Amino acid sequence: MSAPALPPLAARSLPAAVWRAVRSGRWTSGCAVLIVVIVLLAAGADLFAGIEGQSLVPDISTLGPTGLPAGPLGGVSGAHWFGVEPLTGVDLFALVAHGARTSLLVGLGATVLGTALGVVIGVSAGYLGGWWDRLVTWTADVILGFPYLIFMIALGAVLPVDFPRQITLVVVLGLFGWPRVARIVRAQTLTLAKRDFVAAAKVIGGGPWHVFTRELLPNLWAPVIVVASLSIPSMIGSEAALSFLGVGVLPPTPSWGRTISTAIDFFETDPMYLVFPGLLLFLVTLAFNVVGDAIRDALDPRSGGPA
């Protein structure tokens, strides 16, 4: 009797493949460094704002008689690296740094929740099959076709003002994000369930929990990491869009989307107010997409990328 087949190579070399993907080119390496820098900026927002010597406290002394920042380029100076906010005089660097914390926390939190739900639901549907598989497939199709943006606008209109909006965004975006992960995981599970090492685990008495944790899950990390890395920028963009529409994070909590929404009203008189939060939002979504694509290419032997 021949020995059972080993689990796929991607499961055993995943960390090395991810590391090679990050180092696969200067463009990808630069984007990975950019992600680290923005994450550090968000984590140490208070520290970096303190180094600059500013905070989120309004300071009208930095404003001119019309309420716009005094000085050129929106008040950019050695004391205010990104300038100041019109009408309030709040330091824009501090506002953008704290907004990065909000956007990343919501984006990462929603991605973690959506990925965890997608993995559990997708594996169970692919492994158990039957009515549960049909129910999961139907539910995923319904949710993917549901206009979650309209749902969030309606939800934001009925929620109390003091309700924790960041937690709400994480939960709602995560609940709307699991079907994409579940469909991919389900398809992989259907393939893995037919492999010899899964059959061998069942023969020696392995129950469903053992098969899930020891045989299926370790071999699903590659597609899960790929879809999660590509979901992060989508979640960050969704948070920014909802905050832009006024149904996401509410004042006084800083958010890139809300700052961009406010900055549009001052674009003709103070365009620099829009540049920095808009630029950082663009850069972080671009960086996550580039790194996610590199990881996908590294873990997909059909792509011709590093493996």
Rounded to the nearest 10°, the torsion over CA 193, 196, 197, 203 is: 90
Do residues 170 and 110 make contact, with C-beta atoms less than 8 angstroms apart? yes
Do residues 64 and 83 make contact, with C-beta atoms less than 8 angstroms apart? no
Distances (CA, A) of 53 to 23, 32, 91, 167: 36, 28, 10, 31
Q: Is the peptide bond before 252 cis (omega within 30 degrees of 0)?
A: yes
For the chain of 307 residues, list the mean pLDDT of each consecutive stretch of 10: 42 66 83 91 89 82 81 81 86 90 89 92 86 91 84 79 82 90 88 72 67 73 81 85 78 83 84 88 88 78 47
Q: For the purposes of burial, counting CB atoms within 10 Å of the CB of 304, is it exposed (0-12), middle (13-18) or buried (19 or more)?
A: exposed
Q: Degrees (nearest 5) of the Cα angle 202, 206, 209?
A: 115
Distances (CA, A) of 158 to 152, 247, 300: 10, 10, 45
Do residues 277 and 96 make contact, with C-beta atoms less than 8 angstroms apart? yes
Do residues 126 and 185 make contact, with C-beta atoms less than 8 angstroms apart? yes
Distances (CA, A) of 201 to 77, 119, 130, 193: 65, 20, 21, 11
What values do phi and psi take at 63, rounded to 5? Answer: -105, 155
Do residues 10 and 219 make contact, with C-beta atoms less than 8 angstroms apart? yes
Token match 């961009």: residue?
260
The pTM of the full predicted model, rounded to 2 decimals, is 0.80
Do residues 201 and 214 make contact, with C-beta atoms less than 8 angstroms apart? yes
Say which amino acid occupies 133. Answer: D
DSSP 260-285: HHHHHTTTTT-THHHHHHHHHHHHHH
pLDDT the model gives residue 148: 77
pLDDT the model gives residue 5: 42
pLDDT the model gives residue 136: 92
Q: Degrees (nearest 5) of the Cα angle 113, 118, 121?
A: 125
Token match 């500013």: residue?
54
Q: Rounded to an integer, what distance in angstroms lies between the CA atom of residue 158 and that of residue 136?
A: 29
pLDDT the model gives residue 207: 65
Q: Rounded to an integer, what distance in angstroms lies between the CA atom of residue 142 and that of residue 13?
A: 36
Q: What is the DSSP letter of 6?
A: P
pLDDT the model gives residue 34: 92
Cβ neighbours around 235 below 10 Å, total: 29
Q: Give the CA diameter of the chain.
A: 88
